[in-house]
A and B are shown apart, each in its own frame.
Chain A
């Protein structure tokens, strides 16, 4: 390894060398640096064979010996080539100590050897300079070996990479250290190359493009980048960053990656894949993960309906602090909005428009908190979003019956009865409607989803004028709020699913005693369901009342029929009234009131 630099001529106590060794080991993993050359020692030397380092012109000879006799520079030849190589680097790195494997060098030679660093990989000894820009005692170096088959090779256009361990794409690699491929000097302009190591422990250069102001080439995928090397035209050697030389290449950046704690690959640009199908778990039964956020989940290739309660958040965070924001239902049977949170405060109000012809079910999902503290009452107004009431009638001759209201939708659509035989027809029961596409979205709430039914309109009696009857009121809508966070509802009458009031009958111009017009019934109250995960406050109230029946009027001879009130779930609407003569031009309430709806606010303990 390339150990800590220290001033020439200074020596450290033995225990300090241990400290330096530890520090250098920690920092040197996969460290790339300059080298002078390497000695290959594949053969065990004979007694008396030598390895010579010539440093600044001084030859330092290390002699292989079968037995040491106390002569400076002797190295035990050992029982193999590897044993000798180990004894050789031990003495080269610690020339001040005599051990059972080597004899200490002279003080002068110890200092010369301190200018060099060594790393042994197998039986190859890599040698490098410890010069820096502030301390450069080494001026020249060469080496030689006398053992047949062993040799020294000067090599300054390669770098040496220290040993290290790393993980790459699930593979643990223990890199023993080694030299890079040889670098080729650029021809016309400078160039930046990137050194990488792959999952096989192979070092490789990603060669950049020559340019007067060269750019760093893109780092190749699935490899660990180690350094950026700045090359210049005519270079014959590569140097460390802290020892740059004029006209020579040098290590520009050490780019060995480190990963932050905790691991947070926010810009992960590839798939996260286990090493075998079904062989790895995400968490355990005892230590599960907290929240998992994903757009889609699949189990054995089949999509899993997950995170339904509180919805997806796709419609953003809704915040209304003033005014009225009207959500267009577009005549849909079911409208679902997926908010991340809902906040209606100040004087804000959320209303709805364009309900379905049989009333609309509205589901507002919130992944987070639902805050309903606006002073507007109601701040969420789903009144009259149920089934339409019967249209007003205007008789053209004698008495014309009012129109019935429209049946409201429920999760279980009722089957329709056949009509009795009469002069107006004897039709069989109409086909029920069923909408499979929305059934799965609402069936989890059970059989309680319904909208208020529409009320009937009053009748009209014509003698001399056209007398429009009162229109039947719309039923109240069906509103469900899923609160995945904390529920905070504090306004009295803050939510309404009330039925609409019936219209009033009126006499036309020129009416006489026998003219009359009944009032419309009030629409049935609708349904509200609020489910929350946590509770802050629930002191607000929900208006579920049916609409009030309208008034009829007559000319003083005949009475009129008011429309019936719309029904609700488990509650019938009130009957319209057949009035007698109640005085010329007088009005009386004859439309039936709508039935009262239902409201439930509770903690969600069932839906996930």
Chain B
């Protein structure tokens, strides 16, 4: 989080976005997500390796 100032000059808190791992087919289509709060320590590489995704189109061509 960081401090910022909005247009009215009032100091506020900027909230960091969540961590999102896209469950993506090798063709590039995103079929889903895994999402964590911004402050979470996540091993994204491990999570991606555990969740392998194939989209409907590529699945039908197999």
Q: B24 — nearest CB in chain A belongs to which residue?
A: A323
The answer, among A266, A317, A325, A347, for a CB contact under 8 Å with B53, is: A325
Contact between chains at B31 and A325 (CB < 8 Å): yes
Q: B21 — nearest CB in chain A belongs to which residue?
A: A316
Contact between chains at B47 and A325 (CB < 8 Å): no
Task: Give CA–CA (A267, B13) in the complex, Å.
Answer: 11
Contact between chains at A326 and B53 (CB < 8 Å): yes
Considering only residues 303-329 of chain A, those with a C-beta below 8 Å from chain B are 314-328
Contact between chains at B32 and A323 (CB < 8 Å): yes
Given the known interface contacts A267-B1, A316-B42, the answer about A321 and B31 at a Cβ–Cβ threshold of 8 Å is: yes
The answer, among A266, A325, A327, A328, for a CB contact under 8 Å with B32, is: A325
Contact between chains at A323 and B29 (CB < 8 Å): yes
Given the known interface contacts A325-B51, A327-B50, the answer about A317 and B34 at a Cβ–Cβ threshold of 8 Å is: yes
Please name all residues of chain B whose beta carbon is closer than 8 Å to the beta carbon of A323 when the two chains form the complex.
23, 25, 29, 31-32, 53-56, 58-59
Task: Give CA–CA (A266, B14) in the complex, Å.
Answer: 13
Task: Give CA–CA (A328, B48) in the complex, Å.
Answer: 10
Contact between chains at A348 and B35 (CB < 8 Å): no
Please name all residues of chain A whose beta carbon is closer than 8 Å to the beta carbon of B52 when the two chains form the complex.
325-326, 328, 353
What 0/1 readout, one digit per residue, does chain A (261-278) give for beta carbons within 8 Å of chain B? 000001100000000000
Interface size on B, residues (CB 8 A): 26
Task: Give CA–CA (A353, B51) in the complex, Å.
Answer: 10
Considering only residues 333-362 of chain A, those with a C-beta below 8 Å from chain B are 340, 347-348, 353
Contact between chains at A324 and B59 (CB < 8 Å): yes
Contact between chains at B54 and A318 (CB < 8 Å): no
Please name all residues of chain B whose beta carbon is closer than 8 Å to the beta carbon of A316 when the two chains form the complex.
19, 21, 34-36, 40, 42, 47
Contact between chains at B51 and A327 (CB < 8 Å): yes
Min CB distance A372 to B, Å, is 13
Task: Give CA–CA (A392, B32) in the complex, Å.
Answer: 38
The answer, among A317, A322, A325, A327, for a CB contact under 8 Å with B35, is: A317
Indicate the member of B31, B36, B49 with the most A CB atoms within 10 Å.
B31
Contact between chains at B55 and A322 (CB < 8 Å): yes
Contact between chains at B50 and A319 (CB < 8 Å): no
Min CB distance B45 to A, Å, is 13
Contact between chains at B49 and A318 (CB < 8 Å): no
Contact between chains at A319 and B35 (CB < 8 Å): yes
Please name all residues of chain B whose beta carbon is closer than 8 Å to the beta carbon of A324 when the two chains form the complex.
31, 53-54, 56, 59
Contact between chains at A320 and B36 (CB < 8 Å): no
Task: Give CA–CA (A319, B51) in the complex, Å.
Answer: 12
Given the known interface contacts A267-B1, A347-B56, the answer about A328 and B31 at a Cβ–Cβ threshold of 8 Å is: no
Please name all residues of chain A whose beta carbon is closer than 8 Å to the beta carbon of B34 when the two chains form the complex.
315-319
Min CB distance B16 to A, Å, is 12
Please name all residues of chain A whose beta carbon is closer than 8 Å to the beta carbon of B36 when the two chains form the complex.
316-317, 340
Please name all residues of chain A whose beta carbon is closer than 8 Å to the beta carbon of B49 when the two chains form the complex.
328
Please name all residues of chain A whose beta carbon is closer than 8 Å to the beta carbon of B58 when the two chains form the complex.
323
Please name all residues of chain B whose beta carbon is closer than 8 Å to the beta carbon of A320 when the two chains form the complex.
23, 31-32, 53
Please name all residues of chain A whose beta carbon is closer than 8 Å to the beta carbon of B47 when the two chains form the complex.
315-316
Please name all residues of chain A whose beta carbon is closer than 8 Å to the beta carbon of B42 when the two chains form the complex.
316
Q: B34 — nearest CB in chain A belongs to which residue?
A: A316
Task: Give CA–CA (A327, B47) in the complex, Å.
Answer: 10
Task: Give CA–CA (A324, B60) in the complex, Å.
Answer: 11
Contact between chains at B21 and A321 (CB < 8 Å): no
Please name all residues of chain A whose beta carbon is closer than 8 Å to the beta carbon of B31 when the two chains form the complex.
320-325, 348
Please name all residues of chain B whose beta carbon is closer than 8 Å to the beta carbon of A266 when the two chains form the complex.
1, 13
Min CB distance A322 to B, Å, is 5
Task: Give CA–CA (A355, B36) in the complex, Å.
Answer: 27
Q: A353 — nearest CB in chain B belongs to which residue?
A: B52
Please name all residues of chain A whose beta carbon is closer than 8 Å to the beta carbon of B1 when the two chains form the complex.
266-267
Task: Give CA–CA (A266, B15) in the complex, Å.
Answer: 12
5 pairs of A and B residues whose beta carbons are closest in the complex: A323-B31, A320-B32, A323-B55, A316-B34, A317-B35
* 7 more CB-based (< 8 A) A-B contacts, given A321-B31, A323-B31: A266-B1, A267-B1, A314-B40, A316-B34, A316-B42, A324-B59, A325-B23
Please give the residue numbers on chain B whose beta carbons come within 8 Å of chain A beta carbons, in ascending order: 1, 13, 19, 21, 23, 25, 29, 31-36, 40, 42, 47, 49-56, 58-59
Q: List 10 A-B contacts (CB under 8 A).
A: A267-B1, A314-B40, A316-B42, A318-B32, A322-B29, A323-B29, A323-B32, A324-B56, A324-B59, A325-B52
